Amino acid sequence: MGDEAIDPEAAYEALSVGARLALLRNPEGIMPPQFIGQVMTVCGNSCVAAISGKADSVPQIALLQGPLSDYLSHCRCALDTWWNSLTPPLRAGIRCREALPETLPLQLPDHSPWADVSTPCSPLLVRDYLELQATGGELM
């Protein structure tokens, strides 16, 4: 995709599962080093704010910035609000994968604050969020 303007949803979907989950887990924090090069390849160098490393190499420590960071932060906020509105038994069911049917991401707009979200989350991002919740992945 390079450094041209990116479609954040397409960029997110082009990343590996590990990179997607790591960025969704903490979209405004320090990226795990193993995904920095991949993010730069998919999203362009301008999507990564280097904290350490040489100017002409892949940074060792970096933050996500730009459209993908904004998109993930926006979606995380909406999903966290939705998650916190669920009853404890429903959250427990999702965590145990009892209430995690394939159609659940498609049902979310009826049960979440999408009216306040200008960029609805992609079904893949919603599935990733639910995967983090189901596996107990730490969500920052």
115 in a structural domain? yes
Whether residue 62 is found in the same domain as residue 74:
no
Question: Between 117 and 51, whose confidence is greater?
Answer: 51
> For residue 115, what pLDDT band results from cuts at 50, 70 and 90?
very low
Question: Which one of 39, 67, 95 terminates a domain?
Answer: 67
Question: Between 105 and 68, whose confidence is greater?
Answer: 68
Whether residue 63 is found in the same domain as residue 79:
no
pLDDT in tens, 32-89: 999 999 999 998 888 888 777 666 667 788 899 999 999 999 999 888 888 888 888 8
1 in a structural domain? no
Whether residue 78 is found in the same domain as residue 61:
no
140 in a structural domain? no
Whether residue 77 is found in the same domain as residue 129:
yes
C-alpha 43: how far from chain center: 14
Whether residue 30 is found in the same domain as residue 76:
no
Whether residue 77 is found in the same domain as residue 130:
yes
Question: How high does pLDDT run on average in the chain?
Answer: 78
| Domain range enclosing 58 | 8-67
2 in a structural domain? no
* DSSP codes, 26-65: -TTSBPPHHHHHHHHHHH-GGGEEEEES-TTS--SEEEE-
In contact, 8 and 39? CB cutoff 8 Å: no
Considering the chain, what percentage of its residues have pLDDT values greater than 90?
28
Domain count, the chain: 2
Query: What pTM value is reported for the model?
Result: 0.78
